[in-house]
């Protein structure tokens, strides 16, 4: 399996060089690459997410579906951090008021 994967990587590099040289179209490269991936993996199925990521990554785009989980996670962390900061500020003001009262 390792030698097959290494050979596949070498073949992909050769095809990539052919695309760069202009002797192969990018569409043909994508078709050949998909066939090679199926051959190496031993499956005719490539997940929809993987296909979406690979096709859009080649064009330098990021599909909307990919980052949504990270954005939600980031917003959640931001809300938690803001809440903790707000609580710390209120507690700090209460402590300050208590100390100044003495």
- Looking at the structure, do residues 54 and 74 belong to the same domain, yes or no? no
Q: What is the dihedral of CA 17, 27, 7, 50, to 10 degrees?
A: 120
- Looking at the structure, do residues 51 and 74 belong to the same domain, yes or no? no
Give, in degrees to the nearest 5, the angle at Cα 8 between 7 and 12: 120
- Looking at the structure, do residues 58 and 74 belong to the same domain, yes or no? no
Q: What is the DSSP string of the chain?
A: -HHHHHHHHHHHHHHHHHHHHTSS-HHHHHHHHHHHHHHHHT-S---HHHHHHHHHHHTT---HHHHHHHHHHHHHHHHHHHHHHHHHHHHHHHHHHHHHH-
- Looking at the structure, do residues 56 and 16 belong to the same domain, yes or no? yes
- Looking at the structure, do residues 5 and 47 belong to the same domain, yes or no? yes
pLDDT of residue 81: 81
pLDDT of residue 39: 77
> Which residues span the domain enclosing 2?
1-62
Full pLDDT tens readout for the chain, 102 residues: 445 566 778 888 888 888 888 888 888 888 888 888 777 776 544 555 555 556 555 555 555 554 555 555 666 677 788 888 999 999 999 999 999 987
- Looking at the structure, do residues 55 and 72 belong to the same domain, yes or no? no
pLDDT of residue 3: 59
Q: What count of Cα atoms within 13 Å lies in the side-chain half-sphere of residue 37?
A: 13
Number of compact structural domains in the chain: 2
Token pair recorded at residue 95: 């402590």
- Looking at the structure, do residues 55 and 75 belong to the same domain, yes or no? no
- Looking at the structure, do residues 45 and 82 belong to the same domain, yes or no? no
- Looking at the structure, do residues 56 and 75 belong to the same domain, yes or no? no
């Amino acid at each position: 399996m390792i030698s097959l994967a290494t050979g596949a990587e070498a073949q992909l590099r050769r095809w990539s060089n052919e695309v760069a040289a202009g002797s192969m179209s990018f569409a043909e490269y994508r078709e050949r690459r998909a066939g090679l991936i199926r051959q190496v993996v031993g499956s005719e199925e490539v997940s929809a997410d993987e296909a979406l990521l690979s096709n859009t990554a080649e064009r330098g785009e990021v599909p909307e579906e990919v980052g949504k989980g990270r954005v939600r996670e980031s917003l959640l962390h931001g809300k938690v951090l803001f809440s903790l900061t707000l609580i710390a500020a209120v507690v700090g003001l209460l402590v300050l008021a208590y100390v100044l009262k003495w």
